[in-house]
Amino acid sequence: MNKSLLSIMIMTVTLTGCTLMPNYQRPDLPVQNTWPTGDAYSSGQQGQYVSLGWRDFFADKDLQSLIETAIANNKDLRVAALNVAAYEAQYRIQRSELFPNLDANGTGSRQHVPADVSSTGRSRVNSSWGVTLGVTSYELDFFGRIRSLNEAALQQYLSTQEAQRNTQISLIASVANAWLTLQADKALLKLTEETLENYQYNYDLVKRSNEVGVASSLDLAQARTTVEGAKVNLATYKRQVAQDINLLALLLGTNLPADLANKKESNFDLQYVKEIPAGLPSDLLANRPDIISAEHQLMAANANIGAARAAFFPSISLTSNVGTMSPSFSNLFSAGQGSWLFQPTINLPIFTAGRLRGNLDYATLQKDINVATYEKTIQTAFKEVADGLASRETYREQVVSQGNFVEANQVYYDLADQRYQAGIDSYMTLLDAQRQLFSSQQSLISVRLAQLTSEVNLYKALGGGWQETTKESPNAKNIPITTPKSIDTKSKIIKRS
């Protein structure tokens, strides 16, 4: 019995054949392998790319703490992790079909047969006992159908792993951008509060001057417009700060720590990130999880073609077992009671009304769709990185120019205030200077925010953020993003006594 069982097991494992999967070839890169050049791009932007860990990229300790909390509690990331576990389980289920399932069965029956239905004319009790060990309906994979399905399941599982990484990268970038936006809105709120205080002081001063006949009603009306306009901005920024905190709570999966939520001072101008070289577009194939995930989907579709092709050929299933049988339980394991069964089954599709051809056409079309999706993913990644590189240089110039613009408006206001107090110019000139200074200070904060978020988005576009620390020694220096002196948004409008 042991020799028979061993022979059957060896035969069922070794009877395998070739696979009909097409040879996989990665599609050509659908973009040029250099980044765009021109006035908007800095020279020397291409260097050896380093997959920078998020703790090394974000220098702010508060932001690092928030990212760590989000990774631990965010619900989208949790769903992505559970999806990976689910597809891993499906892969294990599919992989099990590559091997025969060995079953042990024990059966026993006793049946009373009445005399009027018995062949002997006498009532009797029939007994049957048996124990078998064997394989049931194991498909011999001569044409690679099961192996193709197994490969497809494996690629689907690997794709979800990359999708989880991509979700984490997006989460980290979203937390960083939400935190930067909160800091910017807090800076705008503080600027507005200080400006409103000055506007209110000037309005009260003009009002007293109007009451004694020094200032005109037009001056008073104009002064009031600045106060009311600042109040509108104040309400807007209060709302935006509250909404920024709510967004962070959603991303974190828990409430924002009270010490951070209630912090009045904004260190917005102290946010530094590390500048990293962009590498080459071909580097994205190894660094962007969404591109890697799309390629695994393409490989899964390629494997499904092999399964669809194999369905045209005969399938052979094998049922075999060895054991012992006896009409009495006491003799079940006695000599001479051994039994065996070898039962191959072959199925040859003859007429399926086009079903098999339809399945093959569908699998081929799915591969073509995944090729287009893969190429579109690469093109999208190329565009995102190119946009980030253009933003990097132009935002540097814009922040510096906007800072100089604030300084120029401050000089304009100082001169206008002096000339107004000396009676040389009207209040309209001073009012125009006040408005321009406030507007330029608001724009400086907005441009600074745009500069920082563009660096975060470039980091995301390059595929950084799914690992906590840098695995390789970075080649780039820790260069803070340009912060002009005039980023200090404290209002410098002089109160007249």
**Within 13 A of 462's CA, how many CA atoms are on the CB side?**
27
Model confidence at 190: pLDDT above 50 = yes
Asked if the model's pLDDT at residue 36 lies above 90, the reply is no
Between 105-119, 195-209, 304-318, 399-413, the lowest mean confidence (pLDDT) is in 105-119
User: Model confidence over 179-188: pLDDT tens digits?
Assistant: 999 999 999 9
Q: How far apart are CA 185 and CA 458, in angstroms?
A: 22
How far is it, in rounded angstroms, from Cα 263 to Cα 190? 12
Per-residue pLDDT tens digits for 265-279? 766 665 568 777 777
pLDDT category at 324 given cuts 50, 70, 90 is confident
The percent of residues in the chain predicted with pLDDT above 90, rounded, is 48
SS3 53: coil
Give the Cα separation of 310 and 300 in Å (integer): 16
DSSP 2: H
pLDDT the model gives residue 496: 45
State pLDDT tens for residues 466-497: 788 876 543 444 444 555 444 554 545 544 43
Domain positions in the chain are: 29-109+159-299+369-487
Residue 83 exposed, middle or buried by CB count within 10 Å (0-12, 13-18, 19+): middle
241 has a pLDDT exceeding 60: yes
CATH superfamily of 29-109+159-299+369-487: Outer membrane efflux proteins (OEP) (1.20.1600.10)
Distance CA 290, CA 380 (A): 10
pLDDT band at 34 (very low <50, low <70, confident <90, very high): confident
> What does the pLDDT read at residue 269?
61
Answer yes or no: pTM beyond 0.75. Answer: yes
Q: Quote the Cα angle for 104-108-110, to 5°.
A: 170
- Nearest to 433, CA basis, from 267, 226, 194: 226
Q: Is the CB of residue 123 less than 8 Å from the CB of residue 112?
A: yes
**What tens digit of pLDDT does each residue of 38-77 get?**
888 877 555 566 677 898 888 888 899 999 999 999 999 9
pLDDT band at 15 (very low <50, low <70, confident <90, very high): very low
- The C-alpha R_g of the chain, in whole angstroms, comes to 38
The DSSP bridge partners found for residue 316 are: 140, 346
Looking at every residue in the chain, the average pLDDT score rounds to: 85
Section 161-173 average pLDDT: 94
**pLDDT given at position 358:** 95
**Mean of pLDDT values over 155-178:** 94
Give the tokens for residue 330: 């006491």
- The alpha carbon of 362 is separated from its chain's Cα centroid by a whole number of angstroms, namely 29
- 130 DSSP β-pair partners: 107, 325
